[in-house]
Amino acid sequence: MDLVLFDLDNTLLAGDSDVAWTQFLIEEAVLDEAAQKMRNLVFYEQYKAGTLNIHEFLDFQLAPLARYPRERLDAWHRAYMERHIRPMIRPAARALVDGHLQRGALAAVVTATNSFVAWPIAREFGIAHLIATVPAQENGAFTGKPRGLPAFQAGKIARVEAWLESLGLNFKSFEQSWFYSDSHNDLPLLQRVAKPVAVDPDKILGEYALAHGWDILQLHKTT
Tens of pLDDT, residue by residue over 113-149, are 999 999 999 999 999 999 999 999 999 899 999 998 9
State residue 93 phi and psi, 5-degree precision.
Answer: -70, -45
Q: What span, in angstroms and rounded, lies between the C-alpha atoms of 119 and 107?
A: 14
Q: How many helices (H) and strands (E) does the chain have?
A: 9, 7
Hey, which residues are catalytic here? 7, 9
Domain ranges of the chain: 2-217
% the chain with pLDDT above 90 = 79
pLDDT at 67 over 60: yes
Q: What is the pLDDT of residues 148-203, one digit of tens each?
A: 899 998 999 999 999 999 999 999 999 999 999 999 999 999 999 999 999 999 99
Conformational region of residue 74, where left means phi above 0, alpha means psi within -120 to 50, and beta covers everything else: alpha
pLDDT at 109 over 50: yes
Residue 222: pLDDT band (50, 70, 90) is low
pLDDT at 223 over 60: no
**pLDDT for position 57:** 86
Helix axes 33-49, 17-27, angle to 10 degrees: 180
Smallest CA-to-CA distance from 146 within 18, 59, 72 is with: 59
**pLDDT for position 102:** 98
Q: What is the pLDDT of residues 22-41, one digit of tens each?
A: 899 999 999 888 878 788 78
> CATH classification of 2-217 is 3.40.50.1000, yes or no?
yes
Q: Which residues, other chains included, contact 140 with Cβ-Cβ below 8 Å and sequence gap of 6+?
A: 70
C-beta neighbour count of 12 within 10 angstroms: 29
Q: Which residues, other chains included, contact 39 with Cβ-Cβ below 8 Å and sequence gap of 6+?
A: 60
Q: What span, in angstroms and rounded, lies between the C-alpha atoms of 58 and 76?
A: 19
